[in-house]
Chain A
Amino acid sequence: MDVFLQQLVNGLILGSIYAIVALGYTMVYGIIGLINFAHGDIVMVGALVAWTVCTALAGSAVPAPLILLAAAGAAMVVCMTLGVSIERVAYRPLRRAPRLAPLITAIGMSILLQYSAALIWSKQYLALPAILQPTMYTVAGATVTDLQVFIFLLACALMAALAWFIKRTRIGKAMRATEQNRDVAGLMGIDVNRIIAFTFLVGSGLAAIAGLMVILYYGIGHYFMGFMLGLKAFTAAVLGGIGKVNGAMLGGMLLGVVEALASGYIGDLTGGWLGSNYRDVFAFLVLVLVLVLRPSGLIGGPVSERA
């Protein structure tokens, strides 16, 4: 078996999930300059809603693809409602406040979501019943399951669709205009509030899909699962260049691969001194390096000073 290739596959799947979550961070940052720390927990809610639907329908006569569609639908409805409500309640009133204020409400929201989830779903690890029986393929010595292929393709399709949407549609244009300058966009007749709410809607919808991917892939959910995932995805967004949609994709994939390779080879490289239990360190090492060496990220231009 080709260990390197297998680690690459592991990394790309992890990266697909990071990328989808990173999109949510990057879009919100792009448009209102806020790091939405509650975003990782929206993913968690999506995962647990999907878990609930799957658990309720597993074992019934409903075919697996329909269960997944129902789970995706329910997760998206809940997450989108949640995302838009959070923006309305916690961020909009503070839009003109100093930057620290919405950052703090974001962290507050994150903790609120976590403990609400703990109340609803308990603090136990939740196991997903077997709905899918992944088929395994061996490609050039690496084992790939159809679920992995599905996650990867779905992530790519979502990213391509989003890129197209922002570039080509009227509402995408309005989003870009709002990102450029919110006040002027407003003067030009763009309903800025609607555009911002829409951004949250799209980001949270993507988070719901990411949640479904996570719960399907690992088969296990937990009220605290969004925290580390959120931090990693945020790192991915910064790595690619926060505010840049294609940066989130690049950053996510890259981070996933770095993490998989690092945790796969660290033991050999350090002669057993560091083990793969240090793997979370790599994501943040990457974050620090990017911030120090290239704060605008890999494909972000210089951040210009604006009045």
Chain B
Amino acid sequence: MSRAHPLRLLVLGFALLTLAACGKKEEAPPPQAQAPAPQAAQEVVVKIGLAAPLTGPQAHIGQDIKNGAQLAIDDLNTRGVEIGGKKVRFQLIAEDDEANPTKATTVAQKLVDSGVVAVVGHFNSGASIPASKIYSDAGIPQISPSSTNPKYTLQGFKTTFRVVAHDDQQGPVDARFAVEKLGAKRIAVIDDSTAYGQGLADAFAATAKSLGAEIVAREHTTDKDTDFKAILTRIKGKNPDLVFFGGIDPQAGPMKKQMAELGINAKFMGGDGMQTPNFIKLAGETAEGAMASIPGLPKDKMPGGKEFLERFKQKFGVEVELFAPMAYDAVMVFADSMKRAGSTDPAKFLPEVGKTQYQGVIGPIAFDEKGDLKDGPITIYVVKNGQWEPLETVTPTAAAPAKQAEAPAPPQAVQK
């Protein structure tokens, strides 16, 4: 046999590899609770769906959301809930969307088919948006604990809600903070090319520009990359005094580290996707001084925060990562709406979700006509001594932001 056809062989190899990459093995679905065995006479089982990335680089966040929702379900079941005169037992059906938009629609359909009456999820905006159409078609209300892309609630669906402030609120808050409080004049903006990252970065850039700052570079990376040296080198050449990143911690951490290695002294700021302990682990010492905003009050400043954090830690043996309180409240909002409607039928309790006036762990929850959280607060944090510490909380609609703490950004610890 001749060796003369490397070309043909290579093309074939690539085709096969592409196939192999596309067909990334699907995780075995988490064991779903079978129909509970013997039920009490008139006990009704109400299935609540949950969709989040339970595997992959963002699994820690997905797991956090799942735990939050599970805690709410357990609380409801221990307390014993009666809806329309019948005893109700709640059950969580969790599905892994792998943070993948395509997988998200499959998972959404699976949840609908398995008879859930409401869904908590998804985590990623890129997953929530395509999935929302499926829930809307099925008439099932969906509350995302974390998706912040504005488009999510702008599609005109009656079933989409969220319990966090969205990017069009978060980005401008960040920008105002960067320009007015930190005095940033030359700003470089990077995003991870996802619906979330790009949306946040765009909203940030637009406001920063309107406030008189110059956007000296607008760069994109992907949510898989770990090498940002080329982008950062380019940015360094533009000599910015602040770098804003729209993306998640697996990219933000190494990015901060590589900034230090390139001797970039600019401040580093991002959104909720990087406000995690994981970011500090990944960036190591260079995390010091990085800032990130996150919708909601600081965890321990939430009205129900302290108690929630304790019970969460006790039950799952881990700290709350990010969105567990939001997921908890999302389940509670559903239960509350069902109680008011006196029915577990989505068609009957859906209108009640929109009228929610609920005092949750995260604070008062009410939705506007689009399904967005009314007056959702946003808090900006800074890494100090290897910990995220709250700097300032802003309510986007409030005219005068309530100042909580002195906000001098600590000097960047990059000289090594």
Interchain CB contact under 8 A, A136 and B285 = no
A7 contacts the other chain (CB 8 A): yes
Interchain CB contact under 8 A, A103 and B4 = no
Name the distance in Å between B236's Cβ and chain A's nearest Cβ.
6
Interchain CB contact under 8 A, B17 and A37 = yes
Within 8 A of B (CB), among A112-167: 115, 122-125, 127, 129-130, 133-136, 138, 143, 145
The 0/1 profile, CB within 8 Å of A marked 1, for residues 19-44 of chain B is 01100010000000000000000000
Interchain CB contact under 8 A, A295 and B6 = yes
Name the distance in Å between B30's Cβ and chain A's nearest Cβ.
14
Count B-side interface residues using an 8 Å CB cutoff: 52
A303 contacts the other chain (CB 8 A): yes
Q: Which residue of A lies closest to B279 (CB)?
A: A127
Q: Which of B3, B218, B236, B254 contacts A1 (CB 8 A)?
A: B236
What residues of chain B lie closer than 8 Å to A172, measured between beta carbons? Answer: none
Known pairs A100-B12, A103-B16; A306 contacts B221 (CB<8 A): no
Interchain CB contact under 8 A, A14 and B3 = no
The 0/1 profile, CB within 8 Å of B marked 1, for residues 215-242 of chain A is 0001110101101100100000010001
The 0/1 profile, CB within 8 Å of A marked 1, for residues 247-265 of chain B is 0001001100100011100
A173 contacts the other chain (CB 8 A): no
What residues of chain B lie closer than 8 Å to A242, measured between beta carbons? Answer: 6
A94 contacts the other chain (CB 8 A): no
Interchain CB contact under 8 A, A123 and B237 = no
Name the distance in Å between A164's Cβ and chain B's nearest Cβ.
27
Count A-side interface residues using an 8 Å CB cutoff: 65
- In the docked arrangement, what's the CA distance between A123 and B221, Å? 21
Name the distance in Å between B329's Cβ and chain A's nearest Cβ.
27
A73 contacts the other chain (CB 8 A): no
Known pairs A136-B261, A145-B261, A306-B2; A124 contacts B59 (CB<8 A): yes
- In the docked arrangement, what's the CA distance between A145 and B263, Å? 10
Name the distance in Å between A1's Cβ and chain B's nearest Cβ.
6
Interchain CB contact under 8 A, B284 and A295 = no
Q: Quick check: which of B81-89, B226-234, B312-320, B402-410 contacts chain A, the rest being far away?
A: B226-234
Q: Which residue of B lies closest to A304 (CB)?
A: B4
**Which of B2, B9, B226, B282 has the most CB atoms of chain A within a 10 A radius of its CB?**
B226
Name the distance in Å between A60's Cβ and chain B's nearest Cβ.
17
Name the distance in Å between A94's Cβ and chain B's nearest Cβ.
13
Interchain CB contact under 8 A, A111 and B55 = no
Interchain CB contact under 8 A, B416 and A267 = no
Interchain CB contact under 8 A, A276 and B57 = no
Interchain CB contact under 8 A, B253 and A272 = no
A279 contacts the other chain (CB 8 A): yes
Name the distance in Å between A66's Cβ and chain B's nearest Cβ.
20
What residues of chain A lie closer than 8 Å to B151, measured between beta carbons? Answer: none
The 0/1 profile, CB within 8 Å of B marked 1, for residues 253-272 of chain A is 00000011101110100001
- In the docked arrangement, what's the CA distance between A275 and B193, Å? 10
- In the docked arrangement, what's the CA distance between A24 and B57, Å? 28
> Using a CB–CB distance below 8 Å, which chain A residues touch chain B?
1, 3, 6-7, 10-11, 14, 33, 35, 37, 98-100, 103-104, 107, 110-111, 115, 122-125, 127, 129-130, 133-136, 138, 143, 145, 218-220, 222, 224-225, 227-228, 231, 238, 242, 259-261, 263-265, 267, 272, 275-277, 279, 287, 291, 295-296, 303-307
* A-B complex: 6 closest residue pairs judged by Cβ atoms: A3-B237, A275-B220, A277-B220, A263-B230, A10-B229, A125-B250
> Using a CB–CB distance below 8 Å, which chain B residues touch chain A?
1-4, 6-7, 9-13, 16-17, 20-21, 25, 55-57, 59-60, 193, 217-222, 224-227, 229-231, 233-234, 236-237, 250, 253-254, 257, 261-263, 278, 281-282, 284-285, 416
Q: A125-B278, A127-B253, A276-B221 are in contact. List 17 more A-B contacts (CB 8 A).
A: A6-B233, A6-B237, A7-B230, A7-B233, A10-B229, A10-B230, A111-B20, A123-B56, A134-B261, A143-B263, A219-B257, A220-B250, A224-B224, A225-B226, A260-B229, A263-B230, A264-B233
Q: Please name 19 pairs of A and B residues whose Cβ atoms are closer than 8 Å in the assembled complex, sorted by A.
A: A10-B230, A14-B227, A103-B16, A107-B13, A110-B20, A115-B25, A123-B55, A127-B278, A130-B285, A136-B263, A220-B282, A260-B233, A261-B230, A263-B230, A276-B220, A276-B230, A276-B231, A291-B10, A303-B3
